[in-house]
Chain A
Amino acid sequence: MAGPDTEGHWGATSRLMWIALAIWAFFAFVIHFFVNILNNIVILGFPLGFYMAAQGSLIAFVVLLFWFARAQNAIDSKYGVAEDE
């Protein structure tokens, strides 16, 4: 068996890191720049801008983390550096 492709693994890991941080930055900061505009949309009584800070971004963070864990596992397996089960 060939040795694990370390460089390929780190390249893919770094890419995933940047993608995850971009999504994080969007929900942590960018979307809230537009709170006043979003507040014009009201769903179930919630102004959307308020909702994003109170719940929407939080849900996005939780989903992001579960997705990230899976995606990184897939990368580890693909490049042969995953831990043994």
Chain B
Amino acid sequence: MATESKITSGDFLNNLGKVYGIYAGGFLAFVVVLAILEQLGMPDRVLGYLFVGFTILVYAIIGVLSRTAQVSEYYVAGRKVPAFYNGMATGADWMSAASFVGMAGTLYALGYDGLAFVLGWTGGFVLVSVLLAPFLRKFGAYTVPDFLAARYNGNLVRLLGVIVLVACSFTYVVAQVYGTGIIASRFLGLDFQIAVYAGLAGILLCSMLGGMRAVTWTQVAQYIVLIIAYLTPVVILSAKNYGIPIPQLTYGEALQDITAREQEIVAQGLNVGNTLKPYITPFLSYDRLNYFALILCLMVGTASLPHILMRYFTTPSVRDARKSVAWSLLFIFLLYFTAPSYAAFAKLEVYTNVIGQSLDQLPSWIGTYSNLGLVKIYGVTLQGLAGSIGAVKAAVAAGAADAAGVAVALQSKGLVSELATWSTLVDPVKAVVFEAVKANAAVTAQEIFQPAIHAAATAAGNTTNLLGHSGLSIDNDVIVLSTPEIAGMPYVIAGLVAAGGLAAALSTADGLLLAIANALSHDIYYKMIDTHAPTARRLIVARILLFGVAVLAAYTASTKPADILAMVSWAFSLAAAGLFPALVLGVWWKRANRWGAIAGIIVGFGICLYYLVGTRYFAVGFYEMWSGLSGASEAAVAKYNDLKAAFEGAAPEVKAAAWKALDTHAQTIANWFGVRNISSALFGLPAGFIAMIVVSLLTAAPSKQMQEFIDEIRRPKGKELMEGGNLVRDVH
């Protein structure tokens, strides 16, 4: 075919090892060349641009070379992707910006309890392989709703499937685009909005022309970059500190040192406010119920997320689908079993060289990340101080005579963002900033950093000159990003980490985008609106929808929606409760029928969504309705009643503030049996199963043809049951 490019030819598929071997070698050589250029004096900014620009260029070239005009290439990469490479692609598809940049930080903050994420995001692949992927592969659909529609006879189930798919994938893709914006703006100094649209361009170049085929081969390339980038800094660190370049083994020693240091910190009286949680002690942040509930929800969610399941539609056979899940998990494992070593090394570094150090002699990396507002010393950041200096100048110009007058002046001028920055400071720090600006209008944040943190420390009850445990707060992202600098590595390693984070964000965004756009173009457009559309039109519609969804995601990300990152973790519960019962019973229980599936999806998804939205956005109402089931302690209930009385008796002008206090507190007690809303599938999942089973049994059994159809899905032998996105024969 004239429009087919080289990349489908046997040549490419037969030489994958060689092609990607050369690519990986070339990438390493590129890193070495940049390292040399750095030694020759190339500025950091240019190195950053080269890193990011070069890698995105490579992905784009792969994306363009993989363009296609065939429907099956566009939707399932022609079902020609070998198990091993599909495993790599799935690894990149799976590991998002949050896994790459945020996971180690979560472990740093939560210690043992954070391992729920490590377990939850790996163990789910067992469910994928044992319960679902091979059977869905045999079925031969293009999308997950396609399977639901065929198995459960009709477009109503298809539509419900699409709704759940979009609900769990869209916030997730927005978070990825947001992640590309954060990484690009931090390392390249691009404006966040511009960075978001640059990321969008990168994503579109990889996916638009070649659909699944292009996404597959770029994801393989992205996996290679992201895993090299993730392992390199921590391997160097391990070799440097322990003499063995295997961080996954050497951090055991760090764990011991952390425990020893924790006891010293307490003994030295640095644990004011009792904020220190012993790192390896379980169930301090999550209780047992929430720990295990979270593991369950993440695992079942993994097995239900359409962008993961559809990767296994691309293997040449059922056998390869199973093998491919195993490879996927191996490639994912490489990152996830390394993340705890990042966390442990960072914890030890902080406990040894930061906590308990003189406030005047903090390590320089603290300053670097304080500048970005990511590290706070007693609530003070260089970024916040710089903003406050500007705020004070504006306020003085507007007539403020003292620190107390600044807020009033800013308010009267309508300087909202300055006022917000100013309000984050405690009063003694405000005084420091105001006096400094009054004495010297050209003062810098750097110059007032020391007096500011001393003032803040005193205000927090620390009268020593040493940094206490409660005085340091670190953003999750810093752990991975700062490791090269903490270990004194050249900037080229930091650039490598940025390229890796970008690869992780882009690859996941591609997969999600394709899942959403394919559901809209194949399931909604082709299957429900225009069932006779010719191939060319189907592909045009698919590309237009892909473009549209991508732009919408980028636009949403560019508005910096406050809750977006928290909402990503909801995706797992929504997918688990909405899709898992219908998918699993569809394969494993012949008696499951259409009405059962409809009931199961609506009840499972509905309860899950009700719990998520209710506990987060309508906490007061939720608590009032379900106070009998709440896991709140007596003290928390008493506090709630006090706040409620305060709200009811509040004067009109403070009504809003009283409501906010009440709502914030209500969010901590609006629950059933103390289950956090991140684990809401704990209710939705069993409810979905029960609804599906009960309703199936109350209505007629599926037809004879359907029973045979299920038998065929269960047997690897024989042809797929769908071809070109259409059922080979009628099964209803």
Interface residues, chain A, with chain B CB atoms under 8 Å away: 4, 6, 9-10, 13, 17, 20-21, 24, 27-29, 32, 35-36, 39, 42-47, 49-51, 53-55, 57-59, 61-62, 64-66, 68-69, 72-73, 76, 80-84
Check B630 for interface membership: any CB of A closer than 8 A: no
**Closest approach, in angstroms, between the C-beta of B332 and any C-beta of chain A?**
9
Which of A28, A47, A61, A83 contacts B295, CB < 8 Å?
A: A28
**Closest approach, in angstroms, between the C-beta of B250 and any C-beta of chain A?**
8
Are A68's CB and B129's CB within 8 A?
A: yes
Check B299 for interface membership: any CB of A closer than 8 A: yes
Check B322 for interface membership: any CB of A closer than 8 A: yes
Q: Which residue of A lies closest to B283 (CB)?
A: A35
Q: Please, how many angstroms separate the alpha-carbon atoms of A6 and B336 in the complex? A: 39
Check B626 for interface membership: any CB of A closer than 8 A: no
Are B326's CB and A62's CB within 8 A?
A: yes
Interface flags for B129-142 (1: CB within 8 Å of A; 0: not) read 11100100000000
Are B249's CB and A44's CB within 8 A?
A: yes
With known contacts A28-B295, A50-B112, A61-B125, A45–B255 Cβ distance under 8 A: yes
Q: Please, how many angstroms separate the alpha-carbon atoms of A66 and B319 in the complex? A: 12
With known contacts A53-B118, A62-B326, A24–B126 Cβ distance under 8 A: yes
Which of A9, A44, A68 contacts B130, CB < 8 Å?
A: A68
Interface flags for B287-317 (1: CB within 8 Å of A; 0: not) read 0000110011001000000000000000001
Check B18 for interface membership: any CB of A closer than 8 A: no
With a CB–CB cut-off of 8 A, which chain A residues contact B127? 24
Interface CB pairs A-B, < 8 A, 29? A4-B717, A21-B130, A24-B127, A32-B291, A32-B292, A36-B282, A39-B280, A39-B282, A44-B249, A45-B254, A47-B255, A50-B255, A51-B252, A53-B115, A59-B333, A61-B123, A61-B126, A61-B329, A65-B125, A65-B126, A66-B323, A68-B322, A68-B326, A69-B129, A69-B323, A69-B326, A76-B717, A83-B318, A83-B716
- The interface centre, meaning the residue of A4, A6, A62 with most chain B CB atoms within 10 A of its CB, is A62
Q: Please, how many angstroms separate the alpha-carbon atoms of A83 and B448 in the complex? A: 72
Q: Please, how many angstroms separate the alpha-carbon atoms of A17 and B135 in the complex? A: 13
**Closest approach, in angstroms, between the C-beta of B29 and any C-beta of chain A?**
31
Q: Which residue of A lies closest to B121 (CB)?
A: A58
With a CB–CB cut-off of 8 A, which chain A residues contact B291? 32
With a CB–CB cut-off of 8 A, which chain A residues contact B296? 28-29
With a CB–CB cut-off of 8 A, which chain A residues contact B318? 83
The A-contacting residues of B in range 94-153, CB under 8 angstroms, are 112, 115, 118-119, 122-123, 125-127, 129-131, 134
Check B30 for interface membership: any CB of A closer than 8 A: no
With a CB–CB cut-off of 8 A, which chain A residues contact B711? 6
Are A65's CB and B716's CB within 8 A?
A: no
Query: Assuming A53-B119, A55-B248, A68-B322, what are 10 further A-B pairs, CB within 8 angstroms?
Result: A24-B130, A28-B119, A28-B296, A32-B295, A43-B252, A44-B249, A49-B282, A58-B119, A61-B125, A69-B326
Q: Please, how many angstroms separate the alpha-carbon atoms of A45 and B252 in the complex? A: 4
Which of B292, B337, B715 contacts A55, CB < 8 Å?
A: B337
4 A-B pairs with the lowest CB-CB distances in the bound complex, closest first = A45-B252, A65-B326, A53-B115, A46-B252
Are B340's CB and A54's CB within 8 A?
A: yes
With a CB–CB cut-off of 8 A, which chain B residues contact A53? 112, 115, 118-119
Check B330 for interface membership: any CB of A closer than 8 A: yes
Check B325 for interface membership: any CB of A closer than 8 A: yes
Q: Please, how many angstroms separate the alpha-carbon atoms of A61 and B337 in the complex? A: 12
**Closest approach, in angstroms, between the C-beta of B354 and any C-beta of chain A?**
22
Are A65's CB and B325's CB within 8 A?
A: yes
Q: Which residue of B lies closest to A27 (CB)?
A: B123
With a CB–CB cut-off of 8 A, which chain A residues contact B126? 20-21, 24, 28, 61, 64-65, 68
Q: Please, how many angstroms separate the alpha-carbon atoms of A62 and B340 in the complex? A: 18
Q: Which residue of B lies closest to A7 (CB)?
A: B711
Q: Which residue of A lies closest to B83 (CB)?
A: A69
With a CB–CB cut-off of 8 A, which chain B residues contact A68? 126, 129-130, 322, 326
With known contacts A46-B252, A83-B716, A17–B336 Cβ distance under 8 A: no
With a CB–CB cut-off of 8 A, which chain A residues contact B438? none
Q: Please, how many angstroms separate the alpha-carbon atoms of A11 and B701 in the complex? A: 22
Are A47's CB and B122's CB within 8 A?
A: no
Which of A6, A46, A65, A76 contacts B255, CB < 8 Å?
A: A46
